[in-house]
Structure 1
Amino acid sequence: MARSLLTVPLLTTTAVAALAWFTLGPAAALAFIALALLEIAMAADSSVPMAGIAGRLHSPARRLFLSLGIVAGVLAMRLLLPPAAVAVGDASDPASAVSEAVFAPGTFAAHLQDVRPALAAFGASFIWLVFAEYLFNTDRASRRSWLGGLEARLAAVARPRVWSLVTAATGVVLTSVLVGSASSWEPASVVPVVLGGVAGTVGYLGSKAVAKWALRSPAGTTDTSSIGTGRDAWRIHAYASTVVFERGLVVFMLFEILDGAYSLSGSGPLGSDGIGALEQAAVAGAAIAVGAVFLARLTSHLDRAAGLQRLRYLKAGAAYVLGVLSMLLWTSLLVPIPGTVVGWFGSVVIGLALATSLPWRAWVRRARVGA
């Protein structure tokens, strides 16, 4: 299974690396391989929550989501959101921000650093609210608790959506107070954190409002059995776009905010000698595309194999990855987060969820019977 899933991305990586070697030189080829392998590794973590989202979609939107939606969403969020954030933060022309990202990545990285606190605060509150959907069981789904009694009690609280908003607001306020205390309450340090946190909450509520509207049947009910067919089939695609945005934002925050490096900047693997600005942009875009294709293939396989149903705690593990990510984003506003923490926390959580999902007792019983 793993071999077949890796065939396309690895063949693509080999072909693009060879092309980069002959056209741009060995430095570009080595930089592309390093970044592409990193993208493939991190895509494995994102595939589990992506499969959970795919399971909530009806068939027409699911096919679009698993094929074009994931790839387009990841590419758009990874490559276009940073220039958009810089343009908004500097009140500049978006086209100028894109041009700077491609032709002057060092300058662009400095400008991105200026808006990083607002972006991190936005992502932390948005992603926490996504995690709170699982923590407080807003859908009231029947499930077995992964972490025991405390998780079960939190999943049974009254008014779960209120709890979600209250905890997110607490995170925004607490982080703003800590940032303010550390900076002697300088407006330039506190205001971006406050505005970013509020914008993240508003963005989440707006996304959910679009999703709720898209899933509402023409009769005005919440019965979605007819959604995805007839004249209103396009509504389910509107819903799919909201979840693509949700996951694309998570992947962007994971790569670009916590590790402190924009894909097109001169840091990380792309900082190798001999690679110009245009070459950096081409190498980064190709590596991100390889990771997005692998993410789409792995998510599609999990969806077809009903992996989240058979491995009952994988969905919980994916949810807790979001919870930890949001906490790391808030923490990154106060202290630097080591790259090793960013690179491995998702793998550890997903690995624990997978290990606890496997039928160890049944295997032991079968082994004893066989002996």
Structure 2
Amino acid sequence: MVLKTFGWSFAVTALGLVAAVLFGGWTAFGIVAILSILEISLSFDNAVVNAGILKKMNAFWQKIFLTIGILIAVFGMRLVFPVVIVAISAQLGPIEAVDLALSDKDRYQELVTDAHPAIAAFGGMFLLMIFLDFIFEDREIKWLTWLERPLAKLGKVDMLSVCIALIILLISAITFATNAHQHGGAHVDKSSTVLLSGIAGLITYMIVGGLSGYFEDKLEEEEEREHEEEEKAERSGKPRTAVAMAGKAAFFMFLYLEVLDASFSFDGVIGAFAITNDIVLMALGLGIGAMYVRSLTVYLVRQGTLDEYVYLEHGAHYAIGALALILLVTIQYEIHELITGSIGVILIGASFWSSVRRNKALAAAEGNADEKTEVSSGV
């Protein structure tokens, strides 16, 4: 199971490390290995959230996620995206931007650093909306009950998530953005840039999330109808078939997954410049990490991990909320990637441990119930 799921990741790792050695020797090998670990640690929460969405999709769209999706993730976000940032911020053509990335790496890094406030605002708002919509939803299973129960009640207020997100964006624009960090230690006013980028992130979330939610609701209606037909089929002795998301519903959910992955990759791409400004090594290292995140997502789905460890999804969403706020803070202040990655790992680790304790408690309760039944029956 492990080899089948992670086989391509192992192969890409081997090819990527060999390419690094051929490109820049053993120093490049070490840089690519570090970048790979950085990407995996920063994106583990991404895998958990992706798994919660991917398990609703059928086998065809899961394959699309692993093939076309990985091309978008590796070449789009880890290679093309940094070049696009430079092209837009420096008002250069695509070819000139690529030439700059390969020939003048220091200037390329400076331009990406200067574009960071816009990137952080867009990605921060998109991720923040994911977190807010999650915690304001009334869920049957709650992890931090003392917090999630009152927030679920507040969530009944229409558009509360959007209002809170806009308030946080406004606060960020008039605090962090007025003294935004730029290359060389300089600070400039980026309030208007942060506001525009943040609103763009919010609009992107509402469009993509809204469309995926709409088609998901349509799918649920179809599931209800098919469930009735399956019950009839079961009564007649015919086998039941599970319904998985397909068609338009799966397409928009796939689109949602790609935008989500893009938002998660912002911190990894920006953080990579703390290690190297070589775009080739960056693409190799982050690409290897992205492959493992994809494979881990599929592994979680096929193993049913989210169904067994029910608080994992909660921990991942809290990690998303933390990452969103960190991205907004980094508009002005530099935060080490170790801190960003550690927060996500700690939150997911805590939710995993809580899930284990819950499972043990449920097993013990069932065991006690069985003992009582045996005693009462005189066994």
CA drift at 1:163 = 0.8
Normalising to structure 2: TM-score of the pair? Answer: 0.78
Aligned residue among 163, 167, 170 for 1:166: 163
Provide the aligned C-alpha RMSD in A: 3.4
Deviations 1:164-204 (A, max 9, x none): 10110010111112136658xx9842211211211111221
Largest Rg, 1 or 2:
2
Match for residue 254 of structure 1?
267
* 1:191 paired to 2:204: no
Match for residue 200 of structure 1?
201
Match for residue 239 of structure 1?
252
The answer to whether the 8 A contact 2:78-2:282 is kept is no
CA drift at 1:64 = 1.8
Distance 1:237 1:98 in 2: 34
* 1:134 paired to 2:134: yes
- Name structure 1 gaps, 5 residues minimum: 272-279
CA shift in 2, pair 1:206/1:363, >3 Å: closer
SS at match of 1:337: coil
Deviations 1:136-163 (A, max 9, x none): 11xx5x4221111221121233545501
Deviations 1:95-132 (A, max 9, x none): 33233223322211111122211111111111101111
SS at match of 1:143: coil
Distance 1:66 1:161 in 2: 36
Distance 2:169 2:319 in 1: 19
The answer to whether the 8 A contact 1:71-1:289 is kept is no
The answer to whether the 8 A contact 1:214-1:238 is kept is no
Distance 1:155 1:13 in 2: 43
Most deviating of 315-324 and 97-106:
97-106
CA shift in 2, pair 1:144/1:237, >3 Å: closer
CA shift in 2, pair 1:282/1:173, >3 Å: closer
The answer to whether the 8 A contact 2:77-2:265 is kept is yes
**Residue pairs, 1:296-335, within 5 angstroms:** 296-335=294-333
Return the letter of the residue paired with 1:102. L
Return the letter of the residue paired with 2:145. G
SS at match of 2:310: coil
CA shift in 2, pair 1:338/1:28, >3 Å: closer
Match for residue 339 of structure 1?
337
Normalising to structure 1: TM-score of the pair? Answer: 0.79
Match for residue 88 of structure 1?
88
Give the % identical residues: 23
- Name structure 2 gaps, 5 residues minimum: 181-186, 227-244, 369-379
Distance 2:64 2:264 in 1: 19
What is the total number of aligned residue pairs between the two structures?
A: 341
Distance 2:205 2:316 in 1: 19
Most deviating of 306-315 and 51-60:
51-60
Match for residue 119 of structure 2?
119
Distance 1:328 1:340 in 2: 12
Distance 2:258 2:200 in 1: 15
